Amino acid sequence: MRIKAPYPNFSKSLTPQHSTMSEFQFKLQPYNDKGRPSRFPCPACEGKREFTRYVNAQTGEPLDERVGICNRQANCGYHYTPKQYFADNPNHNSLSTPRQQAFKSTARASKPAADNVAWSVVKRSLSQYDRNHFVRGLAELLTNEVAFDLARRYHIGTTQNGGTIFWQVDERQRVRTGKIIHYDAETLKRIKRGANGNDVVPQWAHSKLVLSQGNLRWSS
């Protein structure tokens, strides 16, 4: 029996800031949506039939194949909202007709995937392990030399604020994304609440990157 992960109330559909017309709102695609496929592989964890896309409330057309939520919130946590998509793609024309949207979707599908993370980004993150809380914790158990070697071997990167990036590399050596998690260096347990009392949740590297020359790179 498949258990659906709870998600926020999206009864109030999200809209891009430049459009307030109700016909251009987006919502999570309902299950068994008029006989159409409604659950897809997750872009992050690749779990089959675990990903729900945001669709146009009027036409049923998906905004983008990456915009949606993974049902495996506890283990994956991927959630790319329409608001985030429009912030990342300010030139997206949300006022296109359904025919134009369908044409754009077909054109996108015919192009090779161009949203892999550049290896230069990954390699640049495989450093500064002295401030990576996870690697520092490993070093206390294994020595710096062993911990740093393991981190590089398994593509464990460092964020600017000491977080840990677990880069996800597929069998074709393409870097699909990276999961950013913050750890306590002493206990090696994930930090779930910050000093200000706010929740600290895992993030996905793609939300911190911008598309440049066919690859995702750190935004300036």
Query: For the segment 92-106, what is each residue's pLDDT rounded down to a tens digit?
Result: 665 454 444 444 444
Q: How far is CA 184 from CA 19, 133, 193, in A?
A: 43, 6, 11
Identity of the residue numbered 126: L
Residue with tokens 């994956």: 76
61-66: Cβ within 8 A, 24+ apart: 61/98, 61/101, 61/102, 61/105, 62/29, 62/105, 63/26, 64/108, 65/40, 65/108, 66/115
- Confidence (pLDDT) at 220: 42
pLDDT band at 46 (very low <50, low <70, confident <90, very high): confident
The residue with greater pLDDT, 207 or 26, is 26
Does the global pTM surpass 0.85? no
Taking every pair of Cα atoms in the chain, the longest distance, rounded to a whole number of angstroms, is 60
Structural contact between residues 137 and 146, judged by C-beta atoms closer than 8 angstroms: no
Mean pLDDT of 55-78: 86
168-220 pLDDT, tens digit per residue, is: 888 888 888 889 999 999 999 999 888 888 888 888 887 776 544 444 445 54
- Confidence (pLDDT) at 115: 65
- Confidence (pLDDT) at 22: 35
- Confidence (pLDDT) at 147: 95
